[in-house]
Amino acid sequence: MALLQKAVTKPESPLAQDIYRAHRGDRDARGIGSDRRIGPKFLHAGPGYGGSCFPKDTVALIKTAQDHRAPLRIVETVTAVNEQRKRAMARKVVTACGGSVRGKTIALLGLTFKPNTDDMREAPSLAIIRGLQDAGAHVRAYDPVGMPVARTILDGVTFADDAYSCAEGAHALVLVTEWEAFRALDLGRMRDLLVTPILVDLHNVYRADEVRRQGFSYTGVGRPADGEPGGHDRRLAGLEVVSYAKR
């Protein structure tokens, strides 16, 4: 843990660069998850946790600890990093689009904080949408269940009837919530509907090589971006691969 902390705080150090060169996000998660004391369930890539329970409980725990003069630095850091992570996902989309999304339409698939719910509380999509709008993008979104709630809390967003109408005419497609319906998209059809075939997969649902064979520029989480065949990301993308306590 001390070595990892040093790599994070001093990203230009030789140690950090060794970690970058050695890193393969998906493989690391599988390796850690093979330990039965940890398990693989909550080691999937993602844009951060949300919902009604875990965010509220961590904040309450921090406040209780502070009131008793026993601050919980680890929990405080987890909550801070989670908020930073959500905003970083918007920046990841901007980077995938060549550094600017001003005047572009970005299609978001998934709005709820997890699949099989209409719960939008603390959903990563909220921060991602704000970040994209602040960068000048027009956001179009589709969610199988969450749109009635989303319409009441999101301003300036166009809502689509399905995944394909969401993608039509957009400059990038962003998979935000890993609904089962989004795991089997017709990528060829999606490619033809998009103005530019850019897929930003915030849950690593798809295999990067398969998506690229379909003609997409692909960006995942903790995976080498297009143009980075060496597989290390100097911004510590690999160290953000796990999304703890998503459920």
Residue-wise pLDDT tens digits, 185-206:
999 999 999 999 999 999 999 9
* Coil, helix or strand at residue 17: helix
Q: Output the CA–CA distances (angstroms, integers) from residue 101 to 62, 96, 196, in the order listed.
A: 37, 9, 12
CB-based contact 101:108 (threshold 8 Å): no
CB-based contact 137:154 (threshold 8 Å): no
Model pLDDT, residue 186: 96
Model pLDDT, residue 44: 73
List the catalytic residue out of 32, 53, 62, 135: 53
- Structural domains of the chain sorted by starting position, each given as residue range(s) with its CATH number in brackets: 89-223 (3.40.50.720)
Model pLDDT, residue 237: 39
The pLDDT-based confidence of 25 (bands split at 50, 70, 90) is low
Tell me what the mean pLDDT of segment 213-227 comes to.
Answer: 84
Nearest alpha carbon to residue 174 among 133, 213, 214, 125:
125
User: Is the pLDDT confidence value at 240 over 50?
Assistant: no
Model pLDDT, residue 242: 38
pLDDT in tens, 160-170: 999 999 999 99
222 CB-side CA count, 13 A: 25
Q: What is the mean pLDDT of the chain?
A: 83
Any catalytic annotation for residue 97?
Answer: no
pTM of the model: 0.77
Tell me what the mean pLDDT of segment 67-94 comes to.
Answer: 93
User: Is the pLDDT confidence value at 176 over 50?
Assistant: yes
Tell me what the mean pLDDT of segment 88-96 comes to.
Answer: 96
Tokens of 231: 């597989």
The pLDDT-based confidence of 18 (bands split at 50, 70, 90) is very low
Taken in order 39, 41, 47, 52, the sign of the CA dihedral is negative
pLDDT in tens, 101-159: 999 999 999 999 999 999 999 999 999 999 999 999 999 999 999 999 999 999 999 99
